[in-house]
């Protein structure tokens, strides 16, 4: 067993995402340090102020667009120098594209894949190498239960998340011997700005409990987290349905 991480130094990509923020609240209480990255500076400030009140040891912010891949190495270097190293990375950014629009226009599909898969891969490539070298670290990435099976209503988004799931599972395998945790977080349908425009919202829940689940999963060194828990069962059933039947369903 390696030494337990006492005070975390957390890099958060997509710090203003509802799920990311809910998880950060718990870390702030522990007095952890944060380097928050997001696109909207005012939201970033709101989250930073909040974490400070909640007890965060240190909060640094950086406004950045994750689609600017060239900036990724510098961005991570900035985080490392601001916090004096990193123990933990939480990737929470993402975008729910309009499936209908993506079907008509490949450019939109490509953009969705860039935001939901390629930008994560670019960032993780750098982070993985660093953590592998320092032989310690926690990587947590928010994907989605949607990635477990493609459905007509959301397969562009789902395929990006599925690709990310597979990437993470491989990364976990590689980094296991370097004592680096890789956590795949698979939330179900959560009431956030991202899902505000959806038509159907079966079993939707508020993000508070999801944040607590993420926090606990990182502490417990879990590999894959379905949250809320019942999505593990739902998806387990869903993936069992043969394609012959599944293709006729309307889910």
Residues that bind another protein (CB under 8 A): 18, 29, 42-43, 46-47, 49-50, 53-55, 191, 193, 196-199, 201, 204-206
Strand partners, 183: 140
Nearer to another protein, 16 or 181 (CB): 16
Tell me how far apart the alpha carbons of residues 77 and 73 are, in angstroms, rounded to a whole number.
6
Nearer to another protein, 126 or 205 (CB): 205
- CB of residue 151 vs another protein: minimum separation in angstroms? 20
Nearer to another protein, 70 or 199 (CB): 199
Give the other-Cβ count within 10 Å of 214's Cβ: 28
DSSP for 165-198, written as a single string: HHHHHHHHHHHGGGTEEEEEEEE-SB-SGGGTT-
Residue 249 contacts by C-beta under 8 Å, 6 or more apart in sequence?
Answer: 241
Tell me how far apart the alpha carbons of residues 112 and 98 are, in angstroms, rounded to a whole number.
9
- CB of residue 123 vs another protein: minimum separation in angstroms? 25
Tokens 């069962």: give the residue.
233
Strand partners, 11: 35, 89
CA R_g for the chain: 18
- CB of residue 42 vs another protein: minimum separation in angstroms? 5
Nearer to another protein, 50 or 111 (CB): 50
Tell me how far apart the alpha carbons of residues 138 and 90 are, in angstroms, rounded to a whole number.
8
- CB of residue 18 vs another protein: minimum separation in angstroms? 7
- CB of residue 204 vs another protein: minimum separation in angstroms? 5
Q: For residue 196, what are the CA distances in angstroms to 129, 208, 221? A: 37, 16, 32
Nearer to another protein, 77 or 203 (CB): 203
Give the rounded distance of the alpha carbon of 100 from its chain centre.
Answer: 24
- CB of residue 24 vs another protein: minimum separation in angstroms? 11
Nearer to another protein, 53 or 240 (CB): 53
């Amino acid at each position: 067993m390696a030494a337990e991480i006492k005070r975390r130094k957390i890099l958060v990509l997509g710090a203003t995402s509802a799920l990311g923020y809910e998880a950060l609240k718990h870390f702030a209480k522990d007095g952890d340090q944060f380097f928050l990255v997001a696109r909207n500076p005012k939201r970033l400030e709101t989250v930073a102020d909040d974490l400070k009140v909640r007890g965060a040891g240190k909060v640094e912010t950086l406004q950045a667009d994750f689609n600017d891949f060239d900036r990724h190495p510098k961005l991570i270097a900035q985080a490392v120098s601001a916090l004096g190293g990193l123990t933990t990375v939480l990737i929470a950014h993402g975008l729910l594209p309009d499936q209908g629009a993506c079907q008509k226009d490949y450019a939109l599909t490509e953009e969705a894949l860039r935001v939901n898969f390629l930008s994560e891969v670019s960032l993780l490539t750098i982070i993985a190498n660093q953590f592998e070298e320092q032989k310690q670290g926690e990587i947590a990435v928010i994907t989605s239960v949607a990635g477990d099976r493609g459905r007509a209503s959301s397969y562009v988004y789902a395929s990006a998340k599925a690709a990310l799931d597979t990437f993470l599972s491989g990364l976990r395998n590689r980094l296991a011997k370097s004592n680096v945790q890789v956590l795949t977080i698979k939330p179900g349908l959560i009431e956030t700005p991202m899902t505000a425009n959806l038509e159907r919202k079966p079993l939707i829940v508020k993000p508070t409990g999801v944040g607590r689940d993420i926090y606990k999963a990182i502490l417990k060194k879990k590999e894959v987290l379905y949250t809320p828990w019942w999505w593990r069962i739902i998806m387990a059933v869903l993936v069992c349905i043969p394609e012959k039947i599944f293709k006729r369903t309307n889910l």
